[in-house]
Chain A
Amino acid sequence: MSLVTGIMVGGIYALVALGWVLIYKCSGVLNLAMGELTLIGAYVTYAFHQIGVPFFFAVLLTLLVGIILGFLTERIFLDRLIGEPILTVIMVTVGLSFFFKGAAQFIWGSDTRVFTPPVFSIKPLKVGYLLISPVYLWSFVLAIILLLVFVAFFKYTRWGLSMQATADDETAALSLGVSARFVYAAAWAIAFMSAGVGGALLGNINGINISVSYLGLLVLPAVVLGGLNSVPGAIVGGILIGLLQNFAGTYLDQFFPGGVKEIAPFVFMVIFLLFKPYGLWGWERIERV
């Protein structure tokens, strides 16, 4: 039971982790505002849902808003930082995270919002002898679909290739006619999109309040575990963290009551990194950061 739930929640983590990896891959920046992107995604979907848009279309609209916000963020905050030291940009993402969090609270307040009427029925589905709540199932399916789309984009399109090129060597990419601005904007747009959908799904499970943004941090182990610049790594890492969390909740909670569930992934991450400092599939060049 906790195996299945773990995998399903992990799918959502994987989505958010993917956004993280994409930005890192294209620009070498650790985007510390990832959790806030998730939060905003959740609220935007909620807002659309509240005015009567069916959930599925609300998610699509969230994707659209994600693109716009991604481009805006890049243009307003990050464009002038192209060529600046990476650390500067990372610090700016910390600033962005406060900004987004504040903006979200300003608009939607700090009460927990719940999707009403509930999008998914509460009655659990029976698969074999397992009971799965539909929220998890659909979240998982949606997450997997999006993951496949993003991975295909990265692997098979010209834009994907030029994004990889910019990540690898910005100077060379520029000299080959790749517009770095566009690439960064696209990366932020995609990050916003994947985080947004992750947030929307998560909002369905737990309700939406500021704590959704903690997901950003929770996903960090997933990203690091998979290797900071590996897309498949992010996916596997995400699912792994989902599993860990649930196993910890089920089996460890009785011995260490309290928030074992929350801490376990981090403990695991530290131990894991002792043995494999570059994550599962990361390039060894990671150390430069």
Chain B
Amino acid sequence: MVQVGELKEGDTILKLEDVHMSFGKVAALAGISLEVKKGEIHSIIGPNGAGKTVMMNCINGLYKPQKGSIYYKGQKINHLRPYRRAELGISRTFQKLELFGGMSVLDNIRLGRHIHLKSGIVSGSIYVGKTRQEEIESRKFIEEEIIDLLEIESIRDQTAHMLPYGLQKRVELGRALALNPELLLLDEPLAGLNLEEVEDMARFILDINEEKRWRVTCILVEHDMGVVMDISHRVNVLNFGNQIMDGPPEEVQANPEVVKAYLGEEDLYSTRR
């Protein structure tokens, strides 16, 4: 199993340098720079269309920025295809669910293990020796770590697209975790969930970030300010592709420019609670 290695807590795990990405004449990202430290929950907030998801897609490799560099653990990853980045330990969930709808929950999660199964196509087909060993380990990992953590034991054999939305979101998180990532991109994990589900999901994110077993660095794009301010170590604010500010949650909440651009005049916490 690939274990978190070289980086210490607090080292820079991901660095964006002056990243530009435009679609036609619309600049979705106009020179964004930011650093994410290992062990943090790093949130990115901003109004709709601020470029949050575009940024996630650039980090994950679905988009290629026209200018600027992206470093992961000191290595420049601009040119790598998404599947290579996944192998390096970058995993993600999607704003609009992207589950494999026709497959069972378990199959969805197992697909996330895909890259950790090293044996080739022939031995992989006949299920002996090393393959068997791998298969057992991977099964243990999935059952004991992921399914337990996310409390989805009861739905493991159900077809993904038949599940209620909140549970689908959870399964998607499980699938992302199956990669055993070091860096997890969470694109609006709370959107569309009810209050109870939001609390559960926030708890899972904290678990993933804090528990010794995981210690996953998270980049969180989210609109639920209550949760964002509660669980983040650091917050970036984007607006129209520009970065307005970057700092710990308390400072961000106090910044008048941020309040004007995004948070509105009201009290931050009035949206929820």
Residues in chain A within 8 A of chain B (CB atoms): 152-153, 156-159, 161-162, 164-165, 168-169, 171-180, 283
Interface string of B81-123 (1 = CB under 8 A from A): 1110011000110100011111100010011101101000100
Contact of B103 among A164, A175, A178 (CB under 8 A): A164
Inter-subunit contact B124/A158 (CB<8 Å): yes
Contacts of A175 in B (CB 8 A): 60, 62, 82, 86, 91-92, 94, 98, 176
Contact of B100 among A156, A164, A174, A179 (CB under 8 A): A164
> A178 with B102: in contact, given A159-B121, A171-B94 (CB under 8 Å)?
no
Q: Does B125 contact A (CB under 8 A)?
A: yes
Inter-subunit contact A157/B121 (CB<8 Å): yes
Inter-subunit contact B98/A169 (CB<8 Å): yes
Inter-subunit contact B98/A171 (CB<8 Å): yes
> A157 with B125: in contact, given A164-B103, A174-B62, A176-B114 (CB under 8 Å)?
yes
Inter-subunit contact A168/B103 (CB<8 Å): yes
Q: Please, which residue of chain A has its CB at the minimum distance from the CB of B61?
A: A174
Contacts of B114 in A (CB 8 A): 158, 161-162, 176-178
Query: Total interface residues on B, using CB and 8 Å?
Result: 30
Docked pose: A168 CA to B124 CA in angstroms: 22
- Give the shortest distance, in Å, between A131 (CB) and chain B (any CB): 39
Q: Does B175 contact A (CB under 8 A)?
A: yes
Inter-subunit contact B62/A161 (CB<8 Å): no
Inter-subunit contact A158/B101 (CB<8 Å): no
Contact of B86 among A156, A158, A176, A283 (CB under 8 A): A176
Contacts of A169 in B (CB 8 A): 98-101
Inter-subunit contact A176/B179 (CB<8 Å): yes
Inter-subunit contact A168/B94 (CB<8 Å): no
Docked pose: A179 CA to B92 CA in angstroms: 16
> A176 with B99: in contact, given A157-B124, A171-B62 (CB under 8 Å)?
no
Contacts of A173 in B (CB 8 A): 100, 111
**Most interface-central of A157, A168, A169 (chain B CB within 10 A):** A168
- Give the shortest distance, in Å, between A189 (CB) and chain B (any CB): 12
Contacts of A162 in B (CB 8 A): 111, 114
Inter-subunit contact B115/A161 (CB<8 Å): no
Inter-subunit contact B125/A176 (CB<8 Å): no
> A161 with B91: in contact, given A177-B83, A283-B102 (CB under 8 Å)?
no
Contacts of B91 in A (CB 8 A): 175-176
Q: List 15 A-B contacts (CB under 8 A).
A: A156-B125, A157-B121, A158-B114, A161-B110, A165-B111, A168-B100, A171-B94, A171-B98, A173-B100, A174-B62, A175-B91, A175-B98, A176-B115, A177-B114, A180-B83
Inter-subunit contact B82/A172 (CB<8 Å): no
Docked pose: A157 CA to B127 CA in angstroms: 9
- Give the shortest distance, in Å, between B222 (CB) and chain A (any CB): 19
Residues in chain B within 8 A of chain A (CB atoms): 60-62, 81-83, 86-87, 91-92, 94, 98-103, 107, 110-112, 114-115, 117, 121, 124-125, 175-176, 179
> A172 with B83: in contact, given A159-B121, A165-B100, A178-B114 (CB under 8 Å)?
no
A-B contact count (CB 8 A): 79
Docked pose: A153 CA to B125 CA in angstroms: 8
- Give the shortest distance, in Å, between B80 (CB) and chain A (any CB): 11
Q: Please, which residue of chain A has its CB at the minimum distance from the CB of B88?
A: A177
Docked pose: A173 CA to B179 CA in angstroms: 12
Docked pose: A180 CA to B103 CA in angstroms: 19
> A174 with B124: in contact, given A161-B110, A162-B111, A164-B100 (CB under 8 Å)?
no
Contacts of A178 in B (CB 8 A): 83, 111, 114
Inter-subunit contact B94/A161 (CB<8 Å): no
Inter-subunit contact B111/A174 (CB<8 Å): no
- Give the shortest distance, in Å, between A195 (CB) and chain B (any CB): 21
**Most interface-central of A153, A161, A169, A175 (chain B CB within 10 A):** A175
Docked pose: A29 CA to B208 CA in angstroms: 39
- Give the shortest distance, in Å, between B9 (CB) and chain A (any CB): 26
- Give the shortest distance, in Å, between B172 (CB) and chain A (any CB): 8
Docked pose: A157 CA to B60 CA in angstroms: 27
> A177 with B124: in contact, given A172-B99, A172-B100 (CB under 8 Å)?
no
Docked pose: A153 CA to B101 CA in angstroms: 21
- Give the shortest distance, in Å, between B36 (CB) and chain A (any CB): 18
Q: Please, which residue of chain A has its CB at the minimum distance from the CB of B127?
A: A156
Contact of A176 among B103, B124, B175 (CB under 8 A): B175
Docked pose: A174 CA to B83 CA in angstroms: 5
Inter-subunit contact B81/A179 (CB<8 Å): yes
Q: Please, which residue of chain B has its CB at the minimum distance from the CB of A182?
A: B83
- Give the shortest distance, in Å, between A62 (CB) and chain B (any CB): 20
Docked pose: A169 CA to B93 CA in angstroms: 13
Given contacts A169-B100, A174-B82, A178-B114, 7 further A-B pairs with CB under 8 A are A161-B110, A161-B111, A169-B98, A171-B62, A171-B94, A176-B91, A176-B179
- Give the shortest distance, in Å, between B211 (CB) and chain A (any CB): 22
Docked pose: A277 CA to B123 CA in angstroms: 40
Inter-subunit contact A172/B94 (CB<8 Å): yes
Docked pose: A174 CA to B82 CA in angstroms: 6
- Which 3 pairs from chain A and chain B are nearest by CB? A177-B86, A172-B98, A177-B115
